[in-house]
């Protein structure tokens, strides 16, 4: 029987022959205190100031708050829920005591202050700074209390407190974070510390023995990186991995025997932007017609194998009280054609419409390395063609997409279940236009949507907040600026019979081995 180390080595070696089956035996009888996972994505940096684990679930770091998996935030490095005053402009947080970083240094208020100040100080060039534009100042009230002062009333501030906290010592020098050792040598308070990282191969996490939440019972986790879905699936079938992330239909085929397949609801949407400055997509009649023409249910069934749900706004049903079920756009291609006719878009001999010399033709970009976005683009183009709008497709890299996003449409993806403000504001509020590549890239403007989103930010009481976000969704579907297509489930294959502790979770756009079934792996226990 192979031991754990031999099994890891054989897994790495076999990646050189992608697409071939492996004869390695199953892991039955292995040490349940260790785990071997495969991921299709390798992070470029482990620095929270550069966006690592911005939605939480970081294994190397803790935030002040943590997501409970089902739409609520609970204290992590905070000792209790933060207290808002001054109409949600000021937030005071009492901190947990007796917490230590991986290097043994004690966690104090000055670490929180240093982390958040670096996040907004241009000298550190933190990529997350745009999401913290409301932060005016953070100060240490005493060794175990911090106070955040905001420049606007901002009820969603707790959702900004999941960011990993760094030791003050790592931020002593104000240099761009692209040069920071933290990128490859993380120092946090999280349940695991980084023991090894071989770029392009694997990462090894070891339990933080002095973790404030208790030493994790799973003492070592190895994550092997493999971008090819079929390779990961074959290796799971050979018994080499304890779990991996896979596309839903492939996960269904692999999850049998000593494995099971799990599908997680998400706030992760796919949408088509419709640039307001473009002569075709800038026409409200075209935007509404394209929304009516999109056969979302068919896309969910054919592209996702049913593992998702149609999307009409950015807020999914999984976000509970903030979801507005009446904010829908029914599939009706006959009505779509009628709207275009009434707006003066006449069909030509080739079936493509024109209006005052402008042809109903525009381009939709998708990331060339993203197969699912390509399929959504193709499905959308097919539906648009049925009502007389020609959509040309362009597979591009991310730098080209950034250059063209103001004039060409794109298949957009994203989402966070932490708060509806994170899900709606940057994508739809008119004040976000021109503030970042993917901040309101369609240049959408709607005064009713703006007003409701602003009210949602200012309101602390949960039921009243929900009322404002539901109003924003209703106002949006009356005048859509994008075509939201689907919320996609994330799918995983997990070995059974070795551990207890799995809990389902509503996931953000980010997924893989830090989320998925392992989002709370520090609480899992080996089966005896």
Cα–Cα distance between 161 and 67 in angstroms, integer?
Answer: 10
Q: Is 464 helix (H, G, I), strand (E, B) or coil?
A: helix
- Indicate the pairing of strand 353-355 with strand 358-359: antiparallel
Q: Hey, where are the domains in the chain?
A: 4-42+199-264+491-495, 48-184, 269-488
Question: How many angstroms separate the most distant Cα atoms in the chain?
Answer: 75
What's the confidence (pLDDT) of residue 71? 77
pLDDT the model gives residue 244: 96
The per-residue pLDDT for 466 is 97
Q: Which tokens hold the place of 438? A: 């993917």
pLDDT digit of tens for each residue in the chain (528 aa)?
334 334 444 444 443 333 333 333 344 447 899 999 999 999 999 999 999 988 888 999 999 999 988 878 999 999 999 999 999 999 999 999 999 999 999 999 999 999 999 999 999 999 999 899 999 999 999 999 999 999 999 999 999 999 999 999 999 999 999 999 999 999 999 999 999 999 999 999 999 999 999 999 999 999 999 989 999 999 999 999 999 999 888 999 998 889 999 999 999 999 999 999 999 999 999 999 999 999 999 999 999 999 999 999 999 999 999 999 999 999 999 999 999 999 999 999 999 999 999 999 999 999 998 889 999 999 999 999 999 999 999 999 999 999 999 899 999 999 999 999 999 999 999 999 998 899 999 999 999 999 999 999 999 999 999 999 999 999 999 999 999 999 999 999 999 999 999 999 999 998 889 999 999 999 999 997
Q: What is the DSSP code string of 132-189?
A: GTTEEEEEEEETTEEEEEESS--TTGGGGG-SPPPPGGGGSS---GGG-GGGTS---S
What element of type H or E holds 381? helix 371-385
pLDDT of 528 reads 74
Neighbours of 325 (CB within 10 A): 9
Neighbours of 248 (CB within 10 A): 19
CATH level 3 topology of 48-184: Dipeptide-binding Protein; domain 1 (3.90.76)
What pLDDT is attached to residue 511?
85
- Please report the DSSP string for 9-63 in residue order: HHHHHHTTSTT----PPP-TTS-TTEEEEEES---S---GGGTTTTTS--SS---
Q: CA-CA distances (angstroms) from residue 138 to 49, 110, 267?
A: 16, 10, 30
CATH of 269-488, picked from 3.10.105.10, 3.20.20.120, 3.30.930.10, 3.30.470.10, is 3.10.105.10
User: What's the CATH class of domain 4-42+199-264+491-495?
Assistant: alpha beta
SS (H, E, C) 281-327: CCCHHHHHHHHHHCCHHHHHHHHHCCCEEECCCCCCHHHHHHCCCCC
Query: Which of 382, 338, 343, 388 has its CA nearest to residue 364?
Result: 382
Residue holding tokens 């939201």?
A: 484
∠ CA 284-287-288, nearest 5°, is: 90
pLDDT value, residue 3: 40
491: number of Cβ within 10 Å:
25
Q: What is the structure's pLDDT at 255?
A: 85
Say whether 334 sits in a helix, a strand or coil: helix
Give the whole-angstrom CA distance, residue 36 versus residue 10: 12
254 in helix, strand or coil? Answer: helix
Q: How far apart (Å, rounded) are the C-alpha atoms in residues 419 and 413?
A: 17
């Amino acid at each position: 029987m192979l031991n754990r180390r031999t099994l890891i080595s054989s897994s790495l070696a076999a990646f050189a022959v992608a697409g071939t089956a492996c004869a390695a035996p199953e892991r039955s009888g292995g040490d349940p205190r260790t785990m071997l996972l495969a991921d299709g994505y390798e992070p470029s940096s482990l620095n929270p100031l550069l966006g690592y684990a911005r939605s939480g679930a970081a294994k190397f770091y803790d935030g002040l708050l943590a997501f409970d998996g089902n739409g609520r935030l609970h204290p992590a490095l905070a000792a209790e829920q933060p207290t808002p005053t001054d109409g949600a402009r000021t937030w005071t947080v009492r901190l947990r005591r007796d917490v230590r970083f991986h290097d043994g240094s004690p966690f104090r208020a000055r670490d929180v202050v240093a982390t958040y100040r670096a996040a907004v100080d241009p000298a550190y060039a933190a990529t997350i700074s745009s999401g913290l534009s409301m932060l005016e100042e953070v100060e240490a009230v005493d060794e175990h209390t911090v106070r955040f002062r905001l420049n606007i009333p901002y009820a969603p501030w707790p959702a900004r407190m999941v960011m990993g906290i760094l030791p003050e010592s790592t931020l002593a020098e104000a240099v761009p974070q692209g040069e920071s050792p933290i990128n490859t040598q993380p120092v946090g308070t999280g349940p695991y510390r980084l023991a090894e990282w071989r770029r392009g191969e694997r990462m090894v996490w070891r339990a933080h023995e002095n973790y404030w939440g208790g030493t994790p019972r799973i003492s070592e986790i190895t994550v092997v990186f493999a971008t090819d879905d079929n390779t990961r699936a074959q290796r799971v079938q050979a018994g080499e991995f304890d779990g991996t992330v896979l596309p839903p239909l492939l996960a269904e085929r692999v999850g049998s025997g000593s494995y099971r397949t799990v599908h997680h609801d998400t706030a992760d949407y796919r949408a088509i932007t419709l640039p307001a400055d473009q002569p075709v997509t800038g026409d409200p009649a075209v935007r509404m017609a394209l929304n009516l023409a999109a056969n979302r249910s068919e896309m969910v069934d054919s592209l996702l194998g049913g593992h998702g749900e149609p999307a009409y706004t950015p807020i999914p049903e999984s976000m509970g009280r903030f979801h507005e079920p009446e904010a829908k756009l029914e599939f009706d291609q006959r009505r779509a054609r009628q709207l275009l006719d009434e707006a003066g878009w006449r069909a030509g001999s080739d079936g493509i419409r024109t209006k005052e010399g402008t042809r109903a033709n525009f381009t939709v970009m998708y990331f060339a390395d993203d197969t699912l976005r390509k399929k959504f683009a193709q499905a959308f183009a097919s539906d648009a063609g049925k009502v007389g709008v020609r959509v040309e497709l362009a597979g591009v890299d991310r730098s080209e997409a950034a250059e063209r996003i103001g004039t060409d449409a794109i298949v957009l993806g994203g989402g966070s279940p932490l708060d509806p403000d994170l899900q709606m504001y940057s994508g739809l509020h008119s004040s976000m236009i021109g503030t970042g590549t993917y901040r309101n890239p369609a240049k959408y403007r709607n005064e009713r949507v703006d007003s409701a989103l602003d009210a949602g930010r200012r309101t602390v009481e949960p039921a009243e907040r929900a009322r404002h976000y539901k109003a924003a969704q209703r106002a949006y579907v009356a005048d859509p600026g994008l075509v939201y297509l689907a919320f996609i489930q994330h799918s995983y294959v997990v070995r059974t019979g070795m551990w207890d502790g799995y809990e389902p979770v509503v996931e953000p756009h980010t997924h893989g081995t830090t989320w998925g079934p392992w989002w709370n792996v520090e609480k899992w226990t080996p089966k005896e």
